[in-house]
Amino acid sequence: MNLLITNIKSLLQVDEGTQVPVRGSDMAKLPAIDDAFLLIRGSEIEDFGRMAELDQQRRSSAAREIDASGKFVLPAFCDSHTHLVYGASREIEYVDKIRGLSYEEIARRGGGILNSARRLREMPESELLDAALARLNLISSFGTGAVEIKSGYGLDLNSELKMLRVIRRLKEQSPLSIKATFLGAHAIPEEYRDNPDGYVNLLTEEMLPAVADQGLAEYVDVFCDRGFFTVEQTDRILERAVGLGMIPKIHANELARSGGVQVGVKHGALSVDHLEHMEQEEIDLLLASQTMPTLLPTAALFLGLTPPPARRMLDAGLPIALASDYNPGSSPTGNMQLVIALASVMLRMTPEEAINAATLNGAYAMGLADKLGSISRKKRANILITNKIPSYQYLPYTLGENNIETVIIGGQIQ
């Protein structure tokens, strides 16, 4: 079906050959066309331009027309870092946290990721799938059109494969564009508490080959941070995973300056994520790489961490992607409008920078920049129409409000 959106107040993130990723000072630019139309044919963007350029032929080719007077149209958000397949919420732990326990203290008590692992191991695959589908519908209603989902709450071969099979079924059942990441190295499971290298052996000798053999994950991830996996262990895991054809995406420098950026860049990571602890050495390394620095402000807020130095990174010329880190422990939301708002208030990113980071650079961090993240002919029609709002700057200004009226995924109104 052809769908024509007319009288758009402003069509944002228009791409007629934008350099991807969008870096440094270029992130302050958000190309736009005022008083615009957008024509969708099937699942793709066919054409766009000023209303004055819309001829009768294109108008009559549309089976349906949406009048977007007073509304903004932009590409759907690309959330490149989530853990949205999980067994149970962890609000009781959250209350412990309010009472003063740190994330690491909760982890040492067998809470945190290990709590999620216990719940996930018990849960039937079909229940995991239903819960994850509901979460996908929820984030889609806030404007997410593409999402990366990690395993990492199984922490043994069968449970990790179970999680990855759920993600494969989500790919089949959801209209969203989905990428799968194997995060067996999310935490040391209880049964290997006194033998972490034994778990790394299990990862490299059994789990990674099984995941690769069944084609269940595009990416591999390691939580390379204080109290989780060391640089040496991360190096071994990535070496093996890259040999099996997986591309790394690393949890790095959230709790300490972990060496995670260095080991990620060494193995050609597509992204390094979190980055609350950054010095010039890490910035210089990233500048000389193709690796996307990805920031997760909802997690920094929820854990009370010092926010990552986004301004310093942008001023140095780095690109930035924004993602939600949606998970039951440290970021119980996948609302990308809130992520954009917090990027402005916590990271001092401008609305233009935050929208670039949540669309085109997010798509880059999922290997989808050629298909998603901007208004470009032949790209997949993952499109948002806002409510009637005064300006696009209103998006990061309204903390936690849903300003999206209509979500279109692959040309289909949701």
Q: Footprint of Zn ion on this chain (CB under 5 A)?
A: 325
Q: Could you tell me the smallest distance in angstroms from the CB atom of residue 303 to Zn ion?
A: 11
Q: How far is the CB of 72 from Zn ion (least distance, A)?
A: 30
**Least separation, in Å, of the C-beta of 111 and Zn ion?**
16
404-409 and 77-79 beta bridge pairing:
unpaired
Strand, coil or helix: 28: helix
Virtual CA dihedral for 32, 34, 35, 37, nearest 10 degrees? Answer: -10
Q: Which is nearer to Zn ion, 325 or 353 (CB)?
A: 325
State the pairing for strand pair 404-409/412-413.
antiparallel
Q: Which is nearer to Zn ion, 71 or 251 (CB)?
A: 251
Give just the sign of the alpha carbon dihedral 211, 213, 218, 221: positive
Least separation in angstroms between CB 229 and Zn ion? 13
Q: Which is nearer to Zn ion, 235 or 325 (CB)?
A: 325
Asked whether 346 and 355 are in contact (CB, 8 A), the reply is: no
Cα separation, 199 vs 155, in Å, equals 9
User: What is the tally of helices (H) and strands (E) in the chain?
Assistant: 17, 16
Which H/E stretch holds residue 184?
A: strand 177-185
CA atoms of 279 and 277, how far apart (whole Å): 7
- Of the two residues 48 and 229, which places its CB atom closer to Zn ion in the complex? 229
In the complex, least distance from residue 253 CB atom to Zn ion, rounded to whole angstroms: 13
- Residues 193 and 382: their CA atoms lie apart, in Å, by 44
Distances (CA, A) of 290 to 124, 218, 274, 319, 361: 39, 17, 17, 10, 12
**Closest distance between Zn ion and the C-beta of residue 186, in Å?**
8
- Nearer to Zn ion by Cβ, of 40 and 296: the residue is 296
- Minimum CB distance to Zn ion, residue 408 (Å): 28
Cβ nearer to Zn ion, comparing 14 with 136 = 136
- Nearer residue to Zn ion within complex by CB, 48 or 228: 228
